[in-house]
Chains A and B, each alone.
Chain A
Amino acid sequence: MLSKSTAPVSMKSLTGPPKRLLVPVTAFLALFYLIPLALITLMSAGHPPSFSLGLELLNLAHYTKFLSSPYYLKVLLDTVLLGLIVALITAILAYPVAYFLVRSRSRYRGFIYFVTLIPMAVGMNMITLGWLIVLGRNGFVNTLLDSLGFIDQPLGLLYTWPAMVVGLVNVIFTFMVLPIAAVLKNVDPSLERAARNLGAGPVRTFLMVTLPLSAEGVAAGFLAVFMQTSGALVMPLLLGGTSNTVLSVSIWEQYAVANDRYFAAVLSLILLAAALSVLWLQLKISKSREVL
């Protein structure tokens, strides 16, 4: 007679964890995300948030308002651009840090890892306040430049696009480093050594071997950074200037000031669509790479 430990394993248990493990998170998402999303979609079409549907109330007036407004189209463009720029800069800065964390045997690795996690621990609001002090008219940068004799008058560093970009790159940096590092860990170093042995220089090895093999990590980090940047409110509101409005600020304004929740719903769905578009693009690129 076979003991329990040597009993044959059923095919069912080989197909992965049971789907019922997904029930709690699915229920949570349905209750706190899908249902509110449905109600917001109704609101964007002019229908009050309600479970009883009045088809005669539906209209696309608020969508027409958005699409016919050069101002709001510019806000959408600025929002997407900000997300892309921040993601690109973060990727360029984060990759070497991720590479160091994975490949280096330096005793400072732990310290660098800790420093990388600090933005997550400190939080966006505190970091924003910090940059307000650093970039201010009497802040660290202007004071340093003045003391070195480079400037006579303080530079207007705050309330500009660069101020927003710097702040966002700082606060979201961790979300780029960690995915890249996770994928780099699975890249066999012997492949890089093989390339070097075959005569490829360090740059060519990186471009032809390391980067392609770690592209999924970069893509995952890019997506995470883009989504967080495009939805950021506090930093654009406090570090951005009058002409640097992004969708999240417009949404808040329509809700809290104009009291036009229907138009705020439209802007929210536009923002969601922009983020999902980037997700779709990333998935499409990943899939085409699998085929290749």
Chain B
Amino acid sequence: MTNISRRRLLAATAGAIAASPFLVSSLVHAKDNRIVVTSLGGLWERSIRRDFIPLFKKRTGADVDIVLGGPSQWMSQIESQPGKPPLDTIDNSETLAYQLMAQDMAVKLTEDKVPNLADIPPIFRAPWDDYAAMYMYSAAGFFYNKEKIKDPPKSWVEFFERAGKGEFGKSLSLPDISYGWGNAFIWAYAAAHGGGIDNIELGFDAIERVKPYVVKFWANSGEVERLITSREVDIGVFWDGRIHSLIEGGADYLGFQRMDSHVLISGMASQVVKNGNEALALEFLNTLLDPVPQLRFHETINYAVTNAKVQYPEARKNQILPASEGIIPPYRELAQLTPGMIQTWNQKIRT
């Protein structure tokens, strides 16, 4: 057995302390050529790693770390260390993107630093004054069980009218207020019935009419997909890309009906975070907006993408809703209404 003398221990400790600045400096140096980005999980993460990061790495030589989770979590992480944020870019929700802007923590995107921004239609960046840009979007529509529903509704008004009369039975599913875009859907219901931000009550009135026929108000995408695949529900609303993925995955009983009007479109509002590795982060955002990896993203995950130069495969063209035909809620105003909307939901829908 080797006895370690006190003298040898002290010498080793002194050596370690003397070497530590070199170790720390090498860690700092490694971080300069590395950024931290966000992603949702599953197929989304796979596409980010496979379709976007290699191109970014080829262009910059920099490494990328991914933090999985969701916008609320990522915002908390940024707000906890605003001087040195742990994330360099964030795939934010449309609403929380305004919060980052309000805290002066978002970098404005310009075409000289993000060249691909020039090919992104204004609808996907103007709401945030170019402090965020969307690289993907999805459009809402009705999913329905083709075996039970032969004639699906074609508008929100028709849906609420027929569902409210019990035509589909107790087999509906709609987003809960706690879903990230729950407030946006309520706005869409209100808008379809002649209301909007100034009269959001119309959205709640519509929900109250169909409430007795709702099996579950779902709080996340996984939940509604489970409700659909286990056939707990026969009709509801969800995003086109996810429904098409389910159908292509073997759910032959499933149909998707696009609405005639008031088609809600939504996506991730990607932002560069201030005080991080801004130069590399801007280049990463440029990569997210690049048409080549965007097309591969679409092929992986079935969501539409925003670069106007993307040429969709023929087989999928008719599944894509042109951005000009969709509606985006006034998220800035909607964010201010949300706490009150939760109160209204609790009083009218949860009781």
Contact = CB atoms under 8 A, between A and B. Distances in A.
A238 B99 contact: no
A254 B177 CA distance: 11
Contacts of B349: 242
B350 interface: yes
B30 to A, nearest CB: 28
A56 B176 CA distance: 37
A238 B178 CA distance: 13
Contacts of A137: 215, 230-232
B230 A245 contact: no
A138 B231 contact: yes
A137 B216 CA distance: 12
Interface stretch (B37-45, B238-246, B308-316, B339-347): B339-347
B216 A159 contact: yes
Interface stretch (A109-117, A186-194, A224-232, A257-265): A257-265
A261 B346 CA distance: 18
B262 interface: no
B252 interface: no
Contacts of A119: none
A136 B170 contact: no
Contacts of A258: 338-339, 342
A256 B178 contact: yes
B230 A133 contact: yes
B182 A243 contact: no
Contacts of B178: 249, 252-253, 256-257
A156 B170 CA distance: 10
A257 B346 contact: no
A88 to B, nearest CB: 26
Task: Report which residue of A71, A74, A133, A137 has the largest number of chain B beta carbons within 10 angstroms of its beta carbon.
Answer: A137
A245 B345 CA distance: 12
Contacts of B230: 132-133, 136-139
A123 interface: no
B351 A71 contact: yes
Nearest to A72: B346
B180 interface: yes
A87 B179 CA distance: 31
Contacts, number: 68
Contacts of B223: 238
B123 interface: no
A242 B232 contact: no
Interface in B169-190: 170, 176-180, 182-183
B211 to A, nearest CB: 8
A202 interface: no
A86 B183 CA distance: 33
A241 B219 CA distance: 11
A256 B232 CA distance: 27
A72 to B, nearest CB: 8
A260 B343 CA distance: 12
Interface in B265-294: none
Interface in B295-351: 338-339, 342-343, 346-347, 349-351
A257 B182 contact: yes
A237 interface: yes
Contacts of B346: 71, 245
Interface in B47-82: 70, 72
Interface string A120-146: 000000000000110011110000000
Nearest to A257: B178
A133 B232 CA distance: 10
A94 interface: no
Given A71-B350, A156-B170, A253-B177, 7 more contacts: A71-B343, A242-B217, A243-B351, A245-B346, A256-B72, A257-B178, A260-B339
8 contacts: A132-B226, A137-B215, A138-B231, A242-B349, A254-B342, A256-B70, A257-B338, A259-B72
Interface of A: 71, 74, 132-133, 136-139, 156, 158-159, 237-238, 241-243, 245, 249, 252-260
3 tightest CB-CB pairs across the interface, nearest first?
A: A256-B72, A71-B346, A253-B178
